[in-house]
């Protein structure tokens, strides 16, 4: 009987939630961060934009062996915690980069805290780590019991302030999550009181965040989120400060979470997901598209790149080049690569193997996961990812590195 009552309550909440979001007006267009210079387009490229063409499968060629300029690799500060995970990054106004990650005795433990540190590009050095949020501080600020914290995701608000979204759980596992946020007026040195995002009028549970937000032309944020309770699917939240003013379903069923979004213009965008499908279904990357600035999403053909139920990172450079970092294997997380798709191409190609334990015995495979990509100036890239749950690796790709990668790919194709 109790199950019937719970199901009725859930159905009522779903109907009310649908009526709530369906009554909202059309969304503002996406703010386009970069204008692709026509000089970067191929002279013989077709008139139809490549972003509107289906992307081809990953090219199974050997990755480019790059000489100088070299990558810059280091580690986020060691706080002594046995387990670290879910790093994220944001560019600072002074040219630095601030990182966030959670650390504790294990994922989901009561002692997990959200740390932050700043990378100085001039000195090529990270500052000491400080704590942004712990369980006790979250409880005090949110005035509710908090069992665990996770998945910090920073964003830049239209007024220049920094907003940090993070996952909180009061009961149960990650399926019982909700999203909270704090705002900083001083680039992350100090933070205001946390506020819980209300993404459902009745059952505000099972909403998590992992991927970067997008900016709308009206200054509001579009935050890719996802659910893990009953269904496993993506949602796109439209946020004004710390208030969810609308939300839209990005996928359905139980097979696609943790969306990352590529903007194709003011109205168009594509979302790539971590697949959580049953063993009988393809272990590839699910894709959804929108043509009305996120107000509605349609599931399209998979991107035929292997995905082992693991998160991916996405970034578009100023010249239209798209990057992703992912585990391009069907099981495990022991191989991590960067793939690239040029603006005038439909082909994804491996340009760097970051980690690969394939030659080791299965019981010696380490985990390389949860990548996160940003650019400080539109031409470079900073990457952070989990290294065997013990460290967070940081990799810097200078603009010259990408130019060399593109040149090397073209030389190989010409041969």
- What does the pLDDT look like over 76-120, one tens digit per residue? 999 999 999 999 999 999 999 999 999 999 999 999 999 999 999
CA-nearest of 185, 192, 194, 189 to 165 is: 194
Angle (CA) 107 113 117, round 5°: 115
Give, as one character, the DSSP assignment of residue 216: B
> Over 70: is that where the pLDDT of 295 sits?
yes
Greater confidence, 278 or 229?
A: 278
Contact assessment for residue 235 and residue 250, using Cβ atoms and an 8 Å cutoff: yes
Q: What is d(CA 165, CA 402) in angstroms, rounded to the nearest whole number?
A: 30
Greater confidence, 239 or 15?
A: 239
Residue-averaged pLDDT of the chain = 88
Share of the chain above pLDDT 90, in %: 76
Q: Is there a cis peptide before residue 128, judged by omega within 30 degrees of 0?
A: no
Greater confidence, 26 or 168?
A: 168
pTM, 2 dp: 0.89
Share of the chain above pLDDT 70, in %: 85
3-state secondary structure of 38: helix
Per DSSP, which regions of 92-194 are E strands? 97-104, 113-120, 125-126, 130-133, 148-156, 162-169, 177-184
Neighbours of 266 (CB within 10 A): 14
Greater confidence, 337 or 46?
A: 337
Q: What is d(CA 169, CA 129) in angstroms, rounded to the nearest whole number?
A: 24
pLDDT in tens, 125-151: 999 999 999 999 999 999 999 999 999
Amino acid 5: pLDDT: 46
> Over 60: is that where the pLDDT of 10 sits?
no
Amino acid 203: pLDDT: 75
Going by DSSP bridges, is the β-strand pair 58-59/348-356 parallel, antiparallel, or unpaired? parallel
> Over 60: is that where the pLDDT of 219 sits?
yes
354 — pLDDT class (breaks 50, 70, 90): very high
**For the purposes of burial, counting CB atoms within 10 Å of the CB of 289, is it exposed (0-12), middle (13-18) or buried (19 or more)?**
middle
Q: What is d(CA 362, CA 190) in angstroms, rounded to the nearest whole number?
A: 44
> Over 80: is that where the pLDDT of 239 sits?
yes
- What residues have CB less than 8 Å from 242, skipping those under 6 apart? 163, 181, 183, 195, 197
Question: Hey, what are 272's tokens?
Answer: 């790539």
The mean pLDDT of 297-307, rounded to a whole number, is: 97
Q: Which residue has the tokens 């600020």?
A: 141
Q: Which residue has the tokens 């393809």?
A: 282
The mean pLDDT of 11-38, rounded to a whole number, is: 59
Q: What is d(CA 343, CA 177) in angstroms, rounded to the nearest whole number?
A: 37
**For the purposes of burial, counting CB atoms within 10 Å of the CB of 327, is it exposed (0-12), middle (13-18) or buried (19 or more)?**
buried
Q: How many residues does the chain have?
A: 415
172-203 burial string, b = 16+ CB within 10 Å, else e? eebebbbbbbbbbeebbeebeebbbbebbeeb
Amino acid 202: pLDDT: 67
**For the purposes of burial, counting CB atoms within 10 Å of the CB of 70, is it exposed (0-12), middle (13-18) or buried (19 or more)?**
exposed
The mean pLDDT of 386-412, rounded to a whole number, is: 92
> Over 70: is that where the pLDDT of 19 sits?
no
Q: What is d(CA 79, CA 83) in angstroms, rounded to the nearest whole number?
A: 10
CA-nearest of 115, 105, 85 to 370 is: 85
Contact assessment for residue 184 and residue 162, using Cβ atoms and an 8 Å cutoff: yes
Amino acid 60: pLDDT: 56
Q: Which of 7-11, 100-104, 164-168, 354-358 has the lowest mean pLDDT?
A: 7-11
CA-nearest of 126, 113, 117, 124 to 85 is: 113
CA-nearest of 286, 268, 287 to 277 is: 286
Q: What's the count of helices (H) and strands (E) in the chain, helices before strands? A: 3, 27
> Over 70: is that where the pLDDT of 257 sits?
yes
Q: Which residues pair with 222 in a beta bridge?
A: 214, 238
Helix (H) or strand (E) holding 196: strand 195-196
Q: What is d(CA 351, CA 340) in angstroms, rounded to the nearest whole number?
A: 7
> Over 80: is that where the pLDDT of 45 sits?
no
The mean pLDDT of 241-266, rounded to a whole number, is: 95
CA-nearest of 92, 115, 62, 166 to 382 is: 92
Amino acid 305: pLDDT: 98
37 — pLDDT class (breaks 50, 70, 90): very low
Amino acid 63: pLDDT: 53
Go through the domains of the chain in sequence order and give each one's CATH number. Answer: 14-414 (2.120.10.10)
Contact assessment for residue 210 and residue 189, using Cβ atoms and an 8 Å cutoff: no
Amino acid 153: pLDDT: 98
The mean pLDDT of 155-163, rounded to a whole number, is: 97
> Over 90: is that where the pLDDT of 183 sits?
yes
Q: What is d(CA 372, CA 87) in angstroms, rounded to the nearest whole number?
A: 7
């Amino acid at each position: 009987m109790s199950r019937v009552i719970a199901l009725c309550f859930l159905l009522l909440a779903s109907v009310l939630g649908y009526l709530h979001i369906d009554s909202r007006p059309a969304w503002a267009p996406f703010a386009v961060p970069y204008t692709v210079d026509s000089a970067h387009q191929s002279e013989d490229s077709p008139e139809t934009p490549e972003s509107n063409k289906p992307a081809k499968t990953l090219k199974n060629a050997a990755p480019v062996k790059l000489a100088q300029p070299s990558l810059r690799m280091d580690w986020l500060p060691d706080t002594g915690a046995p387990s670290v995970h879910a790093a994220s990054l944001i560019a600072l106004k002074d040219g630095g980069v601030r990182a966030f990650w959670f650390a504790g005795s294990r994922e989901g433990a009561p002692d997990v805290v959200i740390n932050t540190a700043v990378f100085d590009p001039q000195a090529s050095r990270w500052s000491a780590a400080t704590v942004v949020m712990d369980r006790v501080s979250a409880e005090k600020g949110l005035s509710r019991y908090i069992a665990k914290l996770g998945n910090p995701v920073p964003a830049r608000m239209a007024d220049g302030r920094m907003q940090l979204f993070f996952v909180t759980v009061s009961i149960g596992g990650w399926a019982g999550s909700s999203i909270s946020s704090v705002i900083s007026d001083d680039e992350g040195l100090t933070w205001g009181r946390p506020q819980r995002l209300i993404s459902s009028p009745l059952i505000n549970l099972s909403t998590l965040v992992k991927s970067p937000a997008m900016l709308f032309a009206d200054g509001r944020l579009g935050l890719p989120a996802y659910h893990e309770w009953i269904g496993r699917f993506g949602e796109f939240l439209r946020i004004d400060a710390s208030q969810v003013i609308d939300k839209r379903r990005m996928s359905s069923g139980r097979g696609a979470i943790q969306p990352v979004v590529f903007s194709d213009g003011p109205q168009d965008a594509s979302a790539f997901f971590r697949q959580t499908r049953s063993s009988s279904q393809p272990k590839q990357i699910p894709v959804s598209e929108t043509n009305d600035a996120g107000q509605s999403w349609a599931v399209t053909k998979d991107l035929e790149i292997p995905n082992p139920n693991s998160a991916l990172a996405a970034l578009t450079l100023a010249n239209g080049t798209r990057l992703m970092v992912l585990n391009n294997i069907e099981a495990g997380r022991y191989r991590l690569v960067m793939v690239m798709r040029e603006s005038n191409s439909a082909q994804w190609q491996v340009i760097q193997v970051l980690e690969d334990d394939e030659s080791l015995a299965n019981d010696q495979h380490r985990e390389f996961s949860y990548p996160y990509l940003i650019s400080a100036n539109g031409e470079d890239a900073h990457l952070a990812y989990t290294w065997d749950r013990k460290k967070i690796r940081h990799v810097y790709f200078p603009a010259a590195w990408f130019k060399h990668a593109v040149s090397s790919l073209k030389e190989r194709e010409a041969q």
